[in-house]
Structure 1
């Protein structure tokens, strides 16, 4: 039986064919013949080999330096060997478009890489390079907090500390992407050449998920400083808790998700050792720790081996912690500490009903503690994770992007 195509289908097919052939219509409406350029036709079928190093390049990444990607074709042969002839084995992907070594390359080693690929119609392309990988001594690493998988408070910045001074701050900052499921814009700020923090304008939205993409592999941060890290980590923001200490009223009000949760009686810094004012972030929680005055400029004034329920607020030694050695009468009435915020507690910290234990159990790293009405200045933004004490304009001015 003879079938006739519908006219509409023929029209669509004709137009598709015309577009594919690059047709043109003359003044009389006649279709011109497709004039395919021989050069264009060759280019369309010639595979394109992409490598992660240039010929003669030094300081090449040990993770990416030997990898191969091919467009408009498939890999037919890869040869990767050290300058002294040791062969590096690898595998082609199922698509035939990528090849990777079985293991990372050696540091400070010369390699020769040759790739052959075939395109449609059997047209071949070959590319060969020689390169040298980065020396182990020329690496830099960024340690960061918080860790992947953790749950933190709304004030927790993403803070990187680099083991070498960074001179190309823009390259390093641009290789780290921090985003939030809340959609909040996140900006980096450099505290000197070794520290880079990221935060939004306001505290993180409660229950949001923060994604940190660390793509430093191959990034030159300074002379003799090349990154190798390439990973993505995620952490979760918990409920929103901000506690405000009124040093003159000797009280701390704990507010969770906008609602007052509890008011605790405290003792803050004595007149000759006042507590910093400002927004401080809990950076560490210690069930018990030793506090020696000699480490913070108060040698001989105290050395307590078992301070319970200690939560760090500054690098310089400010904590919120349980206090079992002060008489009950000082809490809510007078300031006797050497700069910390003290809560009533018992030796050993074993009584969960004590204020020190309660606050410890109900706090997360990343929670905010705001101190007001202390006879002292505002804490420095880089003393701990306390960049919230800068205006948003000041914070953005410290970005290298």
Structure 2
């Protein structure tokens, strides 16, 4: 009887255990008055898995709007465990672009390669991580960045893919005044092949020029990178451009105008090509001295004295072979209205340099010959005039500054 009773007790204990688990499962499987279910029941026994947002912390917060790049940076991190993957996509200007970045060596964080967020963009972040107990979590978040009301751009000279003379200076004129010149300067780079030292110089708050120490070597390939997009150039005013401009330096041509001798010597790669007679500024209106760079070439143009600060002394509607040397209105141009014996004998202009020409412009005249052999970026230097030296910011007059003065004009010290 003892044996039977022992077996009965064991069978009863087993039945009680089955009933206990059945009761637990029945209670867990059905709804209870407090809304508990199987997850709560198991969670009490094994520990509740943490929420994904507690495992993976993403900045800026999900759903954030008008995020200002200077206030927040994009980051993904976990407190323990490790990140398995992070994928970030930037949507801007109707284009989607992957955002490159890397997970840290300890696996706890991810940062983008470029810390600066773009403006007027939507970011989508997908991250997968394992917590400290090996449980996998995933997060999907989005946020948008601030859309500025005001923008600025830089107008660049020379033109993209142009061939220029060895005196060309890279010049950017901005559409708005720049107050944070250092930030804008850092966002622009000018490089050359073969490599040479190139330095920037600010003229006021809206112009930034770049040049090497000496004239470019013929054949140099120059590239201008504008990384101005989203750079804050002034309070609340952000750059718009992200582009590349390139140009090639052609042959060297430097012409020397001697106002006292009334001649111009034209040298190509250091060799004298020819000497032509000229007429420079009259004693009352002399021509600037100094190095000037050709910035514009017009087959024909109108010249009116009132547009350059004079009275009604002249208004010539069809000046041929007009080559601009300064922004203030100094040209080297064809002259058909002066007697032919004026050239090489008398200075009679209002500050320009005149070469003999015919009405309509002739190809076989001194003016036509010089025009056909000139490039934007060629240098014309005037000496022995009774006027002062041309200002460095009048046209591309930066070659009239020595290297120390030029370098002092950088906003990045």
Give the TM interval when normalised to the shorter protein: 0.7 to 0.9
Mapped pair 1:327 → 2:339: yes
Q: Is the 8 A contact 1:190 1:398 kept in 2?
A: yes
Match of 1:21 in 2: none
Match of 2:211 in 1: 199
User: Structure 2 vs 1, CA of residues 47 and 119 (structure 1 numbering), >3 Å: closer, same or farther?
Assistant: same
Q: Is the 8 A contact 1:134 1:226 kept in 2?
A: no
The match for 1:384 among 386, 395, 408 is: 395
Match of 1:159 in 2: 171
Deviation at 1:218, TM superposition (A): 1.5
Deviation track 1:225-279 (CA, whole Å, cap 9, x = no partner) reads 1112111111000101100000000000011111111111100000000000000
Deviation at 1:116, TM superposition (A): 1.7
Deviation track 1:125-176 (CA, whole Å, cap 9, x = no partner) reads 54746443322x3211111111110011111111001111111111100110
| Consecutive unaligned residues in structure 2, runs of 5 or more | 1-54, 104-111, 113-117
Match of 1:361 in 2: 372
Match of 1:224 in 2: 236
Mapped pair 1:115 → 2:125: yes
Larger radius of gyration: 2
The match for 2:309 among 297, 300, 316 is: 297
Q: Is the 8 A contact 1:208 1:236 kept in 2?
A: yes
**Match runs of 1:53-72 below 5 Å:** 58-59=67-68
The match for 1:372 among 367, 383, 396 is: 383
User: Structure 2 vs 1, CA of residues 386 and 89 (structure 1 numbering), >3 Å: closer, same or farther?
Assistant: closer
Match of 2:249 in 1: 237
Distance 1:79 1:332 in 2: 65
Deviation track 1:357-376 (CA, whole Å, cap 9, x = no partner) reads 01100000110000000001
User: Structure 2 vs 1, CA of residues 252 and 132 (structure 1 numbering), >3 Å: closer, same or farther?
Assistant: same
Distance 2:406 2:63 in 1: 38
Distance 1:219 1:159 in 2: 19
Q: Is the 8 A contact 2:357 2:367 kept in 1?
A: yes
Compute the TM-score of the two structures, normalised by the length of structure 1: 0.74
Match of 2:3 in 1: none
Match of 1:132 in 2: 145
Q: Is the 8 A contact 1:282 1:368 kept in 2?
A: yes
Moved more, 156-165 or 122-131: 122-131
Match of 2:180 in 1: 168
Distance 1:340 1:54 in 2: 63
Q: Is the 8 A contact 1:75 1:92 kept in 2?
A: no
User: Structure 2 vs 1, CA of residues 222 and 166 (structure 1 numbering), >3 Å: closer, same or farther?
Assistant: same
User: Structure 2 vs 1, CA of residues 226 and 324 (structure 1 numbering), >3 Å: closer, same or farther?
Assistant: same
User: Structure 2 vs 1, CA of residues 118 and 239 (structure 1 numbering), >3 Å: closer, same or farther?
Assistant: same
Mapped pair 1:250 → 2:262: yes
Distance 2:389 2:151 in 1: 37
Distance 1:69 1:333 in 2: 78
How large is the RMSD of aligned CA atoms in angstroms?
3.7
Match of 2:409 in 1: 398
| Runs of 4+ in structure 1 over 2 Å off | 46-51, 53-61, 67-81, 88-93, 117-135
Report the number of matched residues: 336
Distance 2:68 2:279 in 1: 56
Deviation at 1:391, TM superposition (A): 1.1
Deviation at 1:117, TM superposition (A): 2.6
Deviation track 1:286-313 (CA, whole Å, cap 9, x = no partner) reads 0000000011122211000000000000
Query: Partner of 1:267: helix, strand, or coil?
Result: coil
Distance 1:383 1:284 in 2: 14
Compute the TM-score of the two structures, normalised by the length of structure 2: 0.72
| Consecutive unaligned residues in structure 1, runs of 5 or more | 1-45, 82-87, 100-104
